[in-house]
């Protein structure tokens, strides 16, 4: 039988131009026997404020529509409400990439979408932690004192600002009235000579704290993106009591203290010493010694990699839940490194115009994602 050129073209499905989507989206793997189960919460960076809660089969069990696009992510709070880190409408434009990761418009929202608390701080960027007492812990930018800015070393000097201003990080805790009840300024406790910026980064922001975790014993873990490393700060004195440096970590995110006293982190690996190709890992480190006690990496190392963002979470059954952020891939691995659940976010869109000049194309990324057992979401049962 002869097939005409016209019929061939007509019968050929249109090509999806989005590479990630062509490879397959939605639920890709589900091993019910070995997975911790539960529900997964994620917030697409280009989702214009949509927050999704999906079940173990990848079906949407609940959805919020927030009034602003995400600065970073949403989390479920102990009271069942959503804590949302939104992107503030006012951009301080502190440096060229600022709009990629500034937040500053925080909401607490009921499952029905009622806003019960809001806090605004346009200086905020990257991470925030909703504390058990209802307070909010987050990082803001402040211009470094000139004498400290002059000491910043490393980085790409060709990208320095004409005015010489370098932004530094201050970690603040605010109460329900928005009052600052604790703060920690990086330049009062860190020596720039001990924390040089990697050559691949510009010098506009030091040390760029992209992850926070307050522990039960009075420490605040801070992830230093452009210098590579995690430090632990005592809340009562501001003292840095230990640090894990670039000999172990490479441009990491998401530090978490485990019940065993180790630190779990997403090790991005844009530029890792001794590695010939970029690849990401999940690492568990003994903080006092820097000893690596466990890690997950793909057998084909470059197959697991996100150059920016990234999250990890220790689950109740000992498995680890991972957000491979840039590619919207969420998965769960056992301690032996076997993947037992995998889902690729199917919601793609472009960033708004002010961000698109730095990262074009269609994206399905999420800063982080979180897994919750059914017992943490009692209100969901009445809706199904």
Structural domain contains residue 64: yes
Higher per-residue pLDDT: 8 or 46: 46
Q: Between β-strands 26-30 and 339-344, what pairing exists: parallel, antiparallel or unpaired?
A: antiparallel
DSSP state letters, 270-320: SS-TT-SS---EEEEEETTTTEEEEEE--SSGGGS--SS--EEEE-TTS-E
Contact 346, 21 (CB under 8 A): yes
CB 359 within 8 A of CB 349: no
Which of the four pLDDT bands, split at 50, 70 and 90, describes residue 334? very high
Predicted confidence at residue 12, as pLDDT, reads 65
CA-to-CA distance for 305 and 44, rounded, in angstroms?
A: 18
Whether 185 is covered by a domain: the verdict is no
Decide: 18 and 342 in contact? Cβ < 8 Å. no
**Average pLDDT, stretch 252-258?**
98
Cα 364–chain centre separation: 14
Report the alpha-carbon distance of residue 263 to residue 309 in Å, rounded. 18
d(CA 136, CA 79): 15
User: What pLDDT does residue 15 have?
Assistant: 86
Assigned token pair, 186 = 């990086």
Tens digits of residue pLDDT in 285-307: 999 999 999 999 999 999 999 99
Q: How remote is the C-alpha of 171 from its chain's centroid? A: 17
Mean of the per-residue pLDDT values of the chain: 95
User: Cα separation of 325 and 331, whole Å?
Assistant: 11
Closest by CA to 26, choosing from 346, 315, 300, 363, is 346
Q: Indicate if the pLDDT at residue 382 is higher than 80.
A: no
pLDDT at 44 over 60: yes
**Alpha-carbon distance 66 to 362, whole Å?**
21
Quick one: pLDDT at residue 364? 98
Of the listed ranges 11-20, 144-153, 310-319, 366-375, the least confidently predicted one is: 11-20
Confidence band for 6, pLDDT divided at 50, 70 and 90 = very low
Per-residue pLDDT at 284: 98
Residue 47 located in a structural domain: yes
Angle, alpha carbons 112-80-334 (nearest 5°): 125
Domain assignment present for residue 258? The answer is: no
Report the candidate in 242, 237, 190 with the shortest Cα–Cα distance to residue 218: 237
What residues have CB less than 8 Å from 130, skipping those under 6 apart? 75, 77, 83, 136, 137
Look at residue 381 and tell me if it is in a domain.
yes
State the Cα–Cα distance between residues 162 and 197, nearest whole angstrom.
19
Mean pLDDT of 316-340: 98
What percentage of the chain carries pLDDT values higher than 90? 90
Number of alpha carbons in the 13 Å side-chain half-sphere of residue 156: 7
Q: Report how many helices (DSSP H) and strands (DSSP E) the chain contains, helices first.
A: 6, 28
Q: Could you read off the pLDDT of 118-132 as tens digits, one per residue?
A: 999 999 999 999 999
Q: Is the pLDDT of residue 7 over 90?
A: no
Res. 2: pLDDT tops 60 = no
Q: Give me the pLDDT at residue 346, please.
A: 98
Task: Assess if residue 157 is contained within a domain.
Answer: no
**pLDDT recorded at residue 16:** 92
Retrieve residue 201's tokens: 């980064």
Supply the pLDDT for residue 1. 40
Over range 207-225, report the average pLDDT. Answer: 98
Provide the domain count of the chain.
1
Q: Is 132 helix (H, G, I), strand (E, B) or coil?
A: coil
Residue 13 lies in a domain: no
Decide if 269 contacts 280 (C-beta within 8 A).
yes
Q: Which domain holds residue 67?
A: 38-76+308-384
**Pair 186, 166: CB distance under 8 Å:** no
pLDDT of residue 273: 86
Distance CA 137, CA 132 (A): 11
In a domain, 250, yes or no: no
% of the chain with per-residue pLDDT over 70: 96
pLDDT at 10: 60
Element (H, E) at 322: strand 320-324
The string of pLDDT tens digits covering residues 356-373 is: 988 999 999 999 999 999
Rounded-to-integer distance, Cα 310 and Cα 365, Å:
10
Considering only CA atoms, which of 243, 302, 247, 303 is closest in space to residue 273?
247
Give me the residues paired with residue 369 across strands: 42
| pLDDT score of 357 | 87
For residues 273 and 246, give the distance between their C-alpha atoms in angstroms, rounded to a whole number.
Answer: 8
């Amino acid at each position: 039988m002869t097939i005409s050129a016209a019929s061939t073209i007509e019968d050929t499905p249109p090509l999806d131009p989005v590479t990630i989507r062509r490879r397959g989206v939605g639920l890709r793997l589900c091993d019910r026997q070995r997975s911790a189960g539960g529900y997964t919460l994620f917030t697409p960076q280009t989702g214009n404020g949509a927050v999704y809660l999906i079940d173990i089969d990848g079906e949407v069990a609940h959805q919020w529509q927030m009034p602003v696009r995400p600065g970073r992510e949403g989390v479920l709070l102990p009271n069942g409400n959503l804590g949302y880190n939104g992107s503030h409408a006012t951009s301080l434009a502190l440096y060229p990439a600022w709009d990629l990761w500034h937040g500053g418009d925080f909401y607490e929202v009921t499952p029905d979408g009622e806003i019960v608390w809001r806090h605004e701080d346009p200086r905020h960027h990257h991470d925030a932690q909703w504390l058990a007492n209802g307070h909010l812990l987050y990082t803001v930018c402040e211009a470094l004192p000139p004498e400290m800015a002059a000491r910043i070393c490393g980085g790409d000097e060709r990208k320095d600002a004409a005015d010489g201003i370098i932004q530094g990080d201050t970690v603040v805790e605010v109460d329900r009235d928005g009052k600052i009840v604790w703060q920690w300024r990086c330049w009062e406790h860190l020596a720039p000579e001990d924390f040089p910026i990697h050559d691949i980064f510009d010098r506009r922001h030091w040390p760029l704290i992209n992850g926070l975790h307050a522990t039960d014993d009075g420490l605040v873990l801070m992830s230093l993106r452009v210098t590579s490393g995690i430090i632990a700060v005592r809340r009562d004195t501001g003292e840095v009591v230990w640090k894990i440096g670039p000999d172990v970590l490479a441009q990491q995110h998401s530090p978490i203290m485990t019940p065993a006293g180790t630190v779990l982190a997403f090790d991005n690996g844009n530029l890792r010493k001794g590695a010939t190709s970029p690849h990401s890992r999940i690492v568990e480190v003994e903080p006092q010694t820097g000893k690596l006690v466990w890690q997950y990496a793909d057998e084909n190392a470059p197959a697991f990699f996100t150059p920016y963002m990234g999250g990890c979470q220790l689950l109740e059954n000992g498995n680890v839940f991972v957000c491979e952020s840039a590619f919207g891939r969420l998965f769960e691995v056992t301690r032996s490194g076997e993947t037992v659940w995998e889902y690729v976010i199917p919601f793609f869109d472009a960033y708004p115009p002010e961000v698109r000049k730095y990262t074009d194309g269609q994206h399905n990324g999420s800063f982080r994602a979180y897994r919750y057992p059914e017992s943490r979401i009692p209100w969901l049962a009445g809706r199904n």
